[in-house]
Amino acid sequence: MKVLLVYPEIPDTFWSFKHILKFIRKRAAHVPLGLLTVASMLPKDWDLRLIDMNVELLMDSDLHWADMVFIGAMVVQKDSVREVVKRTKSMNKRLIAGGPLFSSTPEEFPEIDTQILNEAEITLPPFLNDLSNGSVKKIYTSEEKPDITQTPLPKWDLIHMNYYASMSIQYSRGCPFDCEFCDIVKLNGRKPRVKSNDQMIREFDILYQKGWRGRCFIVDDNFIGNKVKAKSFLLELKAWQEKRRYPFSLFTEASVNLADDEELMKMMTSAGFDSVFLGLETPAEECLVECGKRQNQSKDLVEAVKTIQRHGMEVMGGFIIGFDNDPPNIFERQIGFIQSSGVVKAMIGLLNAIPGTKLYQRLKDEGRLLADCTGDNCDGSLNFIPKKMDPETIRAGYQAVLNHIYSPAEYYKRVLEFLKEYKPARTKQINRLEIRAFFSSILYLGILDKGKIYYWKLLVRAFLFHRRSFGEAVSSALFGYHFRKLLSK
């Protein structure tokens, strides 16, 4: 059996980082970890190929070669998915689909032969069994949550690692919190399931043995969802990293209560974590109550961010505009919130109702849903009728926030606010790619960019006062270039 696994194209978004990949000569920010893992669950005698459309073209010859095509995707990849489905079916190839997009909206893709929904550890084996018996069903689904200590290692030999800016490893699935707008609980449950320490070390070992050095994304819903087990793993990971002189710099997603646990923060930085994404959402307490974000309530969120920064981790933040209880001055408050926190990589988006979430069901019951969500909450779209503010007021205010926080003057000011608090855990070794990126930044940001004066001020101040964080200053400048490019589209 010849099987082609296809990962559709991700559009130009906040998380694609397409505009800075050229500085480090990479083609994509992240690997298709889901498909690589599914590949390891397929029969060993199958002939497998993987096409990641973010790093190479999907050719007709690839589709002609295959007996069967597997496609895995997130909601944001929907447009590319439709094109792949059209091309695949025009060649009369059997098409199998899975991943968050299909698990959330299986009814949108009736032309797909079989949809393997939810978690593949449970739903893929019945499909394979039926395939061998010649009795394949249209949909395989289950609410059962698998024991991920039995999940196999990804099949890394299906990709060219040098195309990617970072590798990915999954430690856990699920989140103990149940925010109204989030689909994690629907997809992966509220009880975090974690891999064993030995299993994780094997995952790090294989990447190390294959020659990977550099960034590694721990792609959890909430890395600290089970703090006890996370701390146990971090002890072993620290020893592994120390023995090899820290070949990987790690980043992940977590909840803001990380700032309440000094031991956990120290353990993370000791194990090689240097940045973390937090869902900060809004400075408006009434909106945190509205969306059930209890972990953020009654908390000084700016101080929480600065606490994590002082412990050696940059905080990347998610922010949302469009809650029912947003006050009229929410736009100004969000600007003040972001600027004072020193969150350089601030992903601020309009609220969207994702299928499968409590928010989606509530708005549907209230007759306020307008359309499907695009999966890109930074594209300025609203898929529901706002309760108080006029939609155009929201969109105009949102655009004003973006224009302000990513204007050169305010952006570089925020970088300096971050550097003022940030205390790196160790001095990083600079590699050739980073050196090349630095000299490229001089051309694009120090000479050609309209905000070049702010770029040079940043470099001078970073060199004089934050020398150990000079690399972070350059990196932040490059990310600012990406964000401004997105705004100019």
Indicate whether 214 pLDDT > 80: yes
Instruction: For residue range 217-244, list pLDDT tens digits in order.
Output: 999 999 999 999 999 999 999 999 999 9
Q: Of 257, 183, 271, which Cα lies nearest the Cα of 225?
A: 257
Higher pLDDT, 153 or 432: 153
Percent of the chain with pLDDT over 70: 100
Tell me what the pLDDT averaged over the chain comes to.
96
Indicate whether 429 pLDDT > 90: no
For the chain, report the end-to-end CA distance as a whole number of angstroms.
43
Q: How confident is the model at residue 372 (pLDDT cuts 50, 70, 90)?
A: confident
Name the pTM for this structure.
Answer: 0.95
Q: How far apart are CA 65 and CA 3, in angstroms?
A: 8
Indicate whether 115 pLDDT > 90: yes
The class of domain 2-140 in CATH terms is: alpha beta
Q: Which of 10-19, 52-61, 179-188, 218-227 has the lowest mean pLDDT?
A: 10-19
User: For domain 166-405, which architecture applies?
Assistant: Alpha-Beta Barrel (3.20)
pLDDT of residue 488: 82
CATH topology agreement for domains 2-140 and 166-405: no
Q: Of 248, 257, 261, which Cα lies nearest the Cα of 301?
A: 257
pLDDT of residue 132: 96
Q: How far apart are CA 367 and CA 103, in angstroms?
A: 23
pLDDT of residue 146: 97
Indicate whether 436 pLDDT > 90: no
Can you give 121-163 as a three-state secondary structure string?
Answer: HHHHHHHHHHHHHCCCCCEECCCCCCCHHHCCCCCHHHCCHHH
Average pLDDT rounded to a whole number, residues 365-393:
89
Percent of the chain with pLDDT over 90: 92
What lies within 8 Å, CB to CB, of 378 at 6+ separation is 13, 14, 347, 348, 349, 350, 486
Instruction: For residue range 300-343, list pLDDT tens digits in order.
Output: 999 999 999 999 999 999 999 999 999 999 999 999 999 999 99
Sheet of 346-350: strands edge to edge?
Answer: 167-169, 214-218, 248-254, 273-281, 314-321, 346-350
Indicate whether 159 pLDDT > 80: yes
Instruction: For residue range 277-291, list pLDDT tens digits in order.
Output: 999 999 999 999 999
Average pLDDT rounded to a whole number, residues 135-144:
97
Indicate whether 430 pLDDT > 80: no
Q: Hey, where are the domains in the chain?
A: 2-140, 166-405, 432-487
